[in-house]
Structure 1
Amino acid sequence: MADGIFAGLRVIDCASWIAGPAAATILSDFGAEVIKIEPPGAGDPWRASAPVPGKVTDYWWQLTARNKRSLAIDLKHAEGLGVLNRLIGSTDVFITNFPLPVRERLKIAATDLLAINPRLVYGSITAYGETGEEAARTGFDATAYWARTGLMDMVRANTETEPVRSMPGMGDHPTATALYAAIATALYRRERTGLGGVAQTSLLQNGLWANGCFVQNRLFGEHVRHRPPRTETPSALANHYRCRDGRWFLMALHNEARQLASFLKAIDAEHLAQDERFATQLARRANHKALTEILDGIFARRDLAAWKPILEAAGVTFGAVFTVDEAADDPQSREIGALVPFADGAGLTVSSPFHIDGATKVAPRRAPAVGQHSETVLRDAGYSADEIGRLKALGVLQQ
């Protein structure tokens, strides 16, 4: 399946920033043709986001807009809308995250486009959903996914510390994956019924899903405590520890009945099993602070590199706390195809987070410049040179 599972599928990415465009990127990884619609001039505002202060870069743009062809067209102009409507007739998936009132104003709401092409799958992302008093509210993943759903509040070190800020895309990329799943589901339904329809998700709903364990507790009437500091965690055997070289790792020894003896032997602390404070799981829970202090002292005796083979040999599940530098240079991530090279330029990019047996993903291509493919896209759609020239003269089309 060299051309990809979605070879022949046409997608219009009429979204901005991350979540909507990233869903289109996943489709492109599996062979879909993606046309990125941008306003003439600066294009998608995500292009201007600089991950390195003081530098003009497009690193983030390369991640979210790879594999796409850019069509720079003014949808506020009747002629520009006419171009979109003409393309919609042969399009399989349309993706947008424009606020609902903007879609109505531009005449690109689901009802507008499905009237042109009933087989169209209309992929929609909003901040707070498409019904209710807040349906028209704007939001980013930091506000709707991270802050609104309790995630920001629950992960701070304690109740006295400031709420923890999210990293760029932390909620957008999972939400993009949810939209991709909705689109794929809608395409499956179309295969059975012949009809498209709306496939929608929201940052709010995905944030609640991510925080589902704690939210579900509350839904059953349980009081949810803030996550305690590491010295107060219920289990000292499921905690993070600092090594002699200052490096941290997170240990998750949950099957204590089976793993505790080998763990204590590996760290030369078998005597702790005879200590009445730690002899049973119930006792260890009651004396978790004391056990944490003891383990702190033990793990501070060696560097992380020395502890790794010891814990691995003991069968302990653990993970080193990586820096971003280490994550970007992780051999395992390259081995599994999570970090892959661009086919038409230097560097690597982060691939979509799943694989299908027997299907090879499309080798990623560099993201386009604003309007780089405008004329090509229109020629493919049957526009003549004169028609294209007229659109340029009107200022509707940019190349």
Structure 2
Amino acid sequence: MTVFHGIKVLDVASYIAAPAAATILSDFGAEVIKIEPPGAGDGQRLLSSLPNVPQSVHNYGWSFPSRNKKGLALDLKTEEGQAVLHRLAASADVLITNYPLAVRSRIGLDPGVLRSANPRLVYASVTGYGETGPEAHRLGFDATAYFARSGLTDITRADADAAPVAPALAAGDHPTASTLFGAIVTALFRRERTGEGAYVSTSLLANGIWANGTVVQAALCGAEIRYRQPREQPRSALSNFYLCADERWFSIAMVAEERLWPAFVSIMGIHDLALDARFAALAQRRTNAAALTLELDSVFLQRTAQDWQQRFESAGFTVSVVSRPIDVANDVQARHACAIVPAAGVDGADFTIDSPFQIDGVTKCKPQRAPEVGEHSDAVLAANGFSTDEIVRLRRDGVVAGMQAQP
């Protein structure tokens, strides 16, 4: 039996952070019902076609975070649609939403009403900037609320004059989803002890600040926050990136520099350079980091990145070739780490991204195809006590839509 067998989750959310939390629950056996508007459905379905994302004939932006879910197309702008939602929520364990706070009551998502009818319900909320305060109703994406507002975008600039660089696609949404999952599971654990549900929440802003926590805490302590230096002007030449003979970048993070310096000299074959007064001691290497980087550039160009990785790792150094996305997709170790797992029917791929943790002795559900808009509408309603006549009427009135059930 899976961990969340018998747990029913209503995914009444859009795009990534909130629905991805439901995906993690589905990986461990929860029944997740994806509720989206009739017609176009969740805007997440269009993500793969945006101009600033990797282009593909496959809808990877939908299939990855929407696996294992049952699709119900329900018009929450109607009173009838809201009544359907409330009937489903009355027996649900978890409801997840990231709809703006200002519209939730208008579409039947008022947490007080839902939790009053079902005191065991865990109502899970994601917002851009938090639940209270003067900016609680502001809309936010991870690029704005998670990265820009948290300071992450600023501290990754090379210097004060460098323009910010756009973050990786959805790189803030998925960590936020993991946080929301943790909040939901904590509330479910509390419910096991008390019998009571809960209202749990997180925000893109809070998660961005958490991710940037070391630097923000430094600011709270009054520290001077310096920008990252260009690669050619590092604070340490031995925690830097170097281009290799195969035109691949190589990353070395030499924290224990004093101890590892002799081994570094041996691996690199720079015994003469080590005698140079500019680099002979730690303090001098830091003062002359730019000059040392320039010297090391020509040495790293003599071998491939993989060759350097093998040499350094055999001596106990912490290093890595800088992977490209295609490298990650074919990474054997990523398969062993269960970061990338086999999938059944995923659009355009035989593998997909797994949720980032395992439980010893627990087998996750094998990823299944993401639903079409309203693919399971009739089956979901029937399983939740709606009669055939009710389902026919809801379809006739446009409240429910999607693929017609087979006779």
Q: Secondary structure at the match of 2:239?
A: coil
Q: Secondary structure at the match of 1:24?
A: helix
How far off is 1:52 after superposition? 7.6
Q: Judge which range, 140-149 or 335-344, deviates more.
A: 335-344
2:405 is matched with: none
* Structure 2 Cα separation of the partners of residues 395 and 211 of structure 1: 46
Q: Secondary structure at the match of 1:239?
A: strand
Q: Pick one of 369, 388, 393 that aligns with 1:390.
A: 393
Q: Deviations over 1:247-268 (max 9, x none)?
A: 1011001112322211211111
Q: Deviations over 1:267-321 (max 9, x none)?
A: 1123344333223222221121121111112111222232222112222111111
Q: Secondary structure at the match of 2:323?
A: coil
The answer to whether the 8 A contact 1:21-1:64 is kept is: yes
1:45 is matched with: 43
Query: TM-score, normalized by length of structure 1?
Result: 0.96
* Structure 2 Cα separation of the partners of residues 309 and 107 of structure 1: 58
Q: 1:148 to 1:185 in 2, by over 3 A?
A: same
Q: How does 1:8-157 map to 2 (within 5 A)?
A: 8-50=6-48, 57-157=58-158
How far off is 1:124 after superposition? 0.4
Q: Secondary structure at the match of 1:8?
A: coil
Q: Structure 1 vs Structure 2: percent identity of aligned residues?
A: 52
Q: Secondary structure at the match of 2:250?
A: strand
The answer to whether the 8 A contact 1:261-1:270 is kept is: no
Q: Secondary structure at the match of 1:11?
A: strand
Q: Pick one of 376, 381, 384 that aligns with 1:381.
A: 384
Q: 1:87 to 1:366 in 2, by over 3 A?
A: same
Q: Secondary structure at the match of 1:152?
A: helix
- Alpha-carbon RMSD across the aligned residues, in angstroms, is 1.4
The answer to whether residue 355 in structure 2 is matched with residue 352 in structure 1 is yes
* Structure 2 Cα separation of the partners of residues 351 and 68 of structure 1: 15
Q: How does 1:314-329 map to 2 (within 5 A)?
A: 314-329=315-330
Q: Deviations over 1:71-117 (max 9, x none)?
A: 10111111111111111111111000000011122231211211111
* Structure 1 Cα separation of the partners of residues 389 and 142 of structure 2: 43
* Structure 2 Cα separation of the partners of residues 114 and 267 of structure 1: 64
Q: Which amino acid aligns with 1:38?
A: E
The answer to whether the 8 A contact 2:306-2:321 is kept is: no
1:363 is matched with: 366
Q: Secondary structure at the match of 2:232?
A: helix
The answer to whether the 8 A contact 1:343-1:363 is kept is: yes
How far off is 1:55 after superposition? 5.4
> Number of residues paired by the alignment?
397
2:174 is matched with: 173
Q: Secondary structure at the match of 1:265?
A: helix
Query: TM-score, normalized by length of structure 2?
Result: 0.94
Q: Which amino acid aligns with 1:238?
A: S
* Structure 1 Cα separation of the partners of residues 120 and 314 of structure 2: 56
The answer to whether residue 223 in structure 2 is matched with residue 255 in structure 1 is no
* Structure 2 Cα separation of the partners of residues 157 and 34 of structure 1: 43
Q: Which amino acid aligns with 2:240?
A: N
Q: Judge which range, 121-130 or 274-283, deviates more.
A: 274-283
Q: Which amino acid aligns with 1:78?
A: E
* Structure 2 Cα separation of the partners of residues 266 and 57 of structure 1: 45
1:291 is matched with: 292
* Structure 1 Cα separation of the partners of residues 174 and 195 of structure 2: 30
Q: Secondary structure at the match of 2:9?
A: strand
How far off is 1:227 after superposition? 1.0
The answer to whether the 8 A contact 2:242-2:251 is kept is: yes
User: Any unmatched runs of 5+ in structure 2?
Assistant: 403-407
* Structure 2 Cα separation of the partners of residues 8 and 270 of structure 1: 65
1:5 is matched with: 3
1:267 is matched with: 268
The answer to whether the 8 A contact 2:242-2:297 is kept is: yes
User: Any unmatched runs of 5+ in structure 1?
Assistant: none
Q: Deviations over 1:138-186 (max 9, x none)?
A: 1110110011111111112332222110122110001000100111111
How far off is 1:128 after superposition? 0.3
* Structure 1 Cα separation of the partners of residues 89 and 369 of structure 2: 25
Q: Which amino acid aligns with 1:377?
A: V
Give 4+ residue runs of structure 1 displaced > 6 Å after superposition: none
Q: Which amino acid aligns with 1:46?
A: Q
Q: Secondary structure at the match of 2:134?
A: coil
Q: Secondary structure at the match of 1:64?
A: coil
Q: Secondary structure at the match of 2:48?
A: coil
Q: Secondary structure at the match of 2:64?
A: helix
The answer to whether the 8 A contact 2:76-2:108 is kept is: no
How far off is 1:189 after superposition? 1.0
Q: Which amino acid aligns with 2:30?
A: A
Q: Judge which range, 241-250 or 299-308, deviates more.
A: 299-308
* Structure 2 Cα separation of the partners of residues 233 and 326 of structure 1: 27
The answer to whether residue 247 in structure 2 is matched with residue 246 in structure 1 is yes
